[in-house]
Amino acid sequence: MSRTPTYKGGINALLAQYEGRRDSFSYAEGEGLPPLDVDLNTLANQVVPDPNHIDQETRPFRSSYHRKRFQLREELQGLSELSYLNGMLIAHLRKRDVPNHAPALFVRLWAEHGAQLVRELDQRWLVSAITTFGDHGANATQRATGLAMTALFGAMKLYESERLYSGLTPDQPFALTGKVRAKLPLDMDSYSISGGGLDVNLIARLWQEAQGDTTIAPLAHHLIELLIHDERTLFRRLQVMKTRRDRLKKVKAKSNIAPVPVDRLTIGPQDLRWGIVSTIKAPLGQIARFAAHHLELGADTLHIFLDDPKPETAAFLARHPKIHVTLCDDAYWQSTGKRRMEAHQLRQAYNATRTLRATEDDLHWLGHIDVDEFIMTDAPMIEKLASVGPAISMARIPPAEALAPDRGTPEYFKLTHKQAGVKKSDLQDIYPTFGLHLYGGFLSHSSGKVFARTGIPDTRLGIHTLKYNGEDASNREKPEGLYLAHFHAPSWEHFRGHLDFRQTKGSYRPRSERPELGQAELLKFLSDEEGDAGLRAFFDEVCADTPELRARLKARKMLLHHQFDFDASVMRVFGRMP
């Protein structure tokens, strides 16, 4: 990385240039700001006259204060004297040395007459005012809001000015074609046009921050409203590009049919064979329960890849003829010709795709699910898969997230609002404090998992989808009465114990594609601000199996009930508990 600074002399030169523009005003006799207790109500009713017609206002200028006074009064003539006072205070507060009462007078002006100033001043002056709060606000909220919006508007002015050299006006978005693949400065990942939420999170955070102070809130909220209604901003251009991309994706999805081989179109339940692939890092007992449950549902083969390659675990599982175990050790990855991927999600998808291709002569359907997920069905699994349309390449199984009881195995499971056909606004009634920060009220994925037909060329089996020629296959179906019980947080201890991993490598990582505040930001905030007490309050509202939550879910047909007896299944399948 180059160490040549963008600005000659580096940060010291920048600081010197910045300080050089902050020399204080000079004053002639009798000049200066009004006192802190100036009658603002009188100024509110006085109009700034044209200084060119007033002898004591015109040239020659007696001081730098006189020059600035003339410039401001010439610019603001016709507005109230409050607008002039605001401009003069801002000019002073940008200097190195200011009258002691100037910050307090500025805050008082906006506290008592902010509404009038918002009506009178143009957007440039409003931005200058919010910037001044960043340096001289009376409390932490005023300063934090002012500094954040200063950075936002300053960055906007810089990149919008440079963008003019592209030949496009500010209201013209870029074309979707021609994007180069390159890292952003500081090695940041690029924003996702299709599902990025960084813009929403940024604007919403600023709005919420300003709500903590009655003086700055009207000004900040007015500027944010102007921002999100202006057709010439990056935010509007990104939304236009997102809409165009969504349309293109829909068009592509409609035509991206993964062709089912002719010999698979007429397979009935009597001949159909199905299996499951899973890459697992879990204790043997948990793996045995997962395997036993799905073998009892009729799986013909389980392909289990042990991400934690323990030979004793493999030996126990391999005793069953329908379980194929692969130790994902160094020798395994060397045999594949690939280096072991750092992210476990990539390892899962790789193993699943290899299995999809390797089982096309043995299986008709292959499901890809995790060790904490268990299929729930109201009819034999073989009948469910046989009922899927003959030209369908992928069957999606929606998730049902477990509610955590005080003890024992969960037996109540919740659905998302979308699965139940419920309005999103109902989530606030179900989860009053935290529901709207989580998609569908779920803590984990809401996409579900898939069963893919084998034998289709050019397909890859991912975590939540089947891809054909690199894009999601469009010929998919969701069988009725089929759900995936997800034991994501079956107890407080489990939730708390897995939190750190999920925040760094798992499902609680910050994601720009999530438009909501999201569990990543929410859980980090609760952890930082309130510790385990805040996290427990969140868990009790969203995850805990309580009569009150069950009643709210049941009233909206968002509650499922299913009793699992995993230990009995293990005994029937393996003959003993591991």
The distance of Cα 457 from the centroid of its chain, to the nearest Å, equals 34
- Give the per-residue SS3 of 501-567: HHHHCCCCCCCCCCCCCHHHHHHHHHHHHHHHHHHHHHHHHHCECCHHHHHHHHHCCCEEECCCCHH
At 211, which amino acid appears? Answer: Q
CB-based contact 176:245 (threshold 8 Å): yes
Between CA 247 and CA 254 the distance in angstroms is: 11
pLDDT given at position 314 = 96
pLDDT given at position 518 = 59
Strands 323-327 and 412-414: unpaired
> CA–CA distance from 193 to each of 179, 241, 293 (Å)?
11, 7, 41
pLDDT given at position 249 = 72
Tokens 């999601």 sit on residue:
472
For the sheet containing 471-472, what is the strand order? Answer: 459-461, 466-468, 471-472
Residue 467 CB coordination number (10 Å): 19
pLDDT given at position 215 = 97
pLDDT given at position 280 = 96
pLDDT given at position 509 = 66
Residues β-bridged to residue 477: 395
0.95 surpassed by pTM: no
Q: What is the residue-level pLDDT of the chain in tens, covering all 578 positions?
A: 457 888 888 888 888 887 766 778 999 999 999 999 999 999 999 999 999 999 888 889 999 999 999 999 999 999 999 999 999 999 999 998 899 999 999 999 999 999 999 999 999 999 999 999 999 999 999 999 999 999 999 999 999 999 999 888 999 998 887 778 788 888 888 888 877 788 988 999 999 999 999 999 999 999 999 999 999 999 999 998 888 888 777 765 567 899 999 888 788 888 999 999 999 999 999 999 999 999 999 999 999 999 999 999 999 999 999 999 999 999 999 999 999 999 889 999 999 999 999 999 999 999 999 999 999 999 999 999 999 999 999 999 999 999 999 999 999 999 999 999 888 888 889 988 887 777 888 888 888 999 999 999 999 999 999 999 999 999 999 999 999 999 998 888 888 887 777 777 666 766 544 444 456 677 777 777 777 787 888 888 889 999 999 999 999 999 999 999 999 999 999 998 77
CB-based contact 95:20 (threshold 8 Å): no
CA quadruple 125, 126, 129, 134: dihedral sign: negative
Between CA 24 and CA 471 the distance in angstroms is: 62
**Extents of the domains making up the chain:** 1-121, 130-255
> CA–CA distance from 443 to each of 207, 285, 415, 528, 542 (Å)?
25, 25, 11, 19, 8
Residues β-bridged to residue 468: 459, 471
Maximum Cα–Cα distance across the chain: 105
The distance of Cα 449 from the centroid of its chain, to the nearest Å, equals 21
